[in-house]
A = this chain, B = another copy of it.
Amino acid sequence: MARVAVPAPTLGAPAVDEGRCCVAPGGVPLTEAQAVELSAKFKALADHKRLTILSIVAASGAEETCVCDIQEPLDLSQPTVSHHLKILVDAGLLAREKRGVWAYYSLVPGALEALAATLVTPGA
């Protein structure tokens, strides 16, 4: 995919400030490609079952979590849990490591923090 040369797109208000109405803004601070990329990550968070999965994995701290740890409190079928886990891995939020018969999941270090950083203002 084409990499854009912008450091870190955020949603928080930048230094731009021109008072007017019904005039096109000087520049849209989020390209469509950036918006699509960002929305893909938020889509992964836009499901309460997946948020619960993340919280379960996060709750085990540095330890990794296997699928059975996740399936039971979620009250979902095994294929559905596997589906949600794939979405979280594809979004870059979870890491999967297969050891023997078990698959262990862990938070990708800094992934959630980087996503959080896109929500706050760059300067303040």
Contact code string A13-25 (vs B, CB < 8 Å = 1, else 0): 1111111111111
**Identical chains bound together, number:** 2
Interface flag for A29 (CB, 8 Å):
yes
Q: How far is the CA of A18 from the CA of B89 in the complex (A)?
A: 23
| Number of A residues, CB within 8 Å of B | 61
Q: For residue A108, which residues in chain B have a CB less than 8 angstroms away from its CB?
A: none
Are B13 and A107 interface neighbours, CB within 8 A?
yes
Please give 14 more A-B residue pairs, beta carbons under 8 A apart, in addition to A17-B60, A36-B48: A11-B58, A21-B64, A25-B60, A25-B69, A25-B73, A27-B59, A28-B55, A30-B55, A32-B48, A38-B45, A38-B51, A39-B50, A45-B45, A119-B119
